[in-house]
Amino acid sequence: MIITEKISLKSGGNTDVIDITEKVAGVIRKSKAMNGSALIFVPGSTASVTTMEHEPNLSKDIRNALEKIAPYGQNYEHHKTWGDDNGPAHVRASMLGPSLTVPFEGGRLLLGTWQQIVLMDFDTRPRSREVIVQITGE
């Protein structure tokens, strides 16, 4: 069986980190699948899906690390193309990627004790986002 659901979110942009673990778990429960995989995908080129220990200080550490790699407020070639300011958002999202696959067993995500699924929105303004969750299982 394959089931696809969309999760709608509002983000603050600027490397906003949003825990979506329970929303993904809810899609699995709704599907009634007991064993399989959940593919989590964010359409767009300025956001990513990954796992982390979702706690405020680690979120700050990730923001600080990404600021060293692709800082906001710099001149990016991308800005010349569209006249916008979100070049670093594209770079960050490209590095982390738009999707993640997490197995589940007995209807439960097989995540580590301190591991959550997060959406990271790197755009330079608040956004409405959709995250697609596709369940493959039985």
Confidence bin at 87 (pLDDT 50/70/90): very high
pLDDT of amino acid 68 = 97
Domain that holds residue 104: 2-137
pLDDT of amino acid 109 = 98
How many residues make up the chain in this entry? 138
pLDDT mean over 104-119: 98
In this predicted model, what pLDDT tens digit does every residue of 42-60 receive, in sequence order? 999 999 999 999 999 999 9
- Residue 76's contacts (CB-CB under 8 Å, 6 or more residues apart) are 87, 88, 90, 91
pLDDT of amino acid 127 = 96
Q: Is 27 exposed, middle or buried (0-12, 13-18, 19+ CB in 10 A)?
A: buried
Structurally, the chain folds into a number of domains equal to 1
pLDDT of amino acid 95 = 97
Say which CATH number the domain at 115 has. 2.60.120.460
Distance between CA atoms of residues 37 and 101, nearest Å: 7
**Is the CB of residue 129 less than 8 Å from the CB of residue 9?**
yes
**Is the CB of residue 134 less than 8 Å from the CB of residue 38?**
yes
Mean per-residue pLDDT over the chain, rounded: 97
Reported as half-sphere exposure (CB side, CA atoms, 13 A), residue 120 has a value of: 27
In this predicted model, what pLDDT tens digit does every residue of 52-81 receive, in sequence order? 999 999 999 999 999 999 999 999 999 999
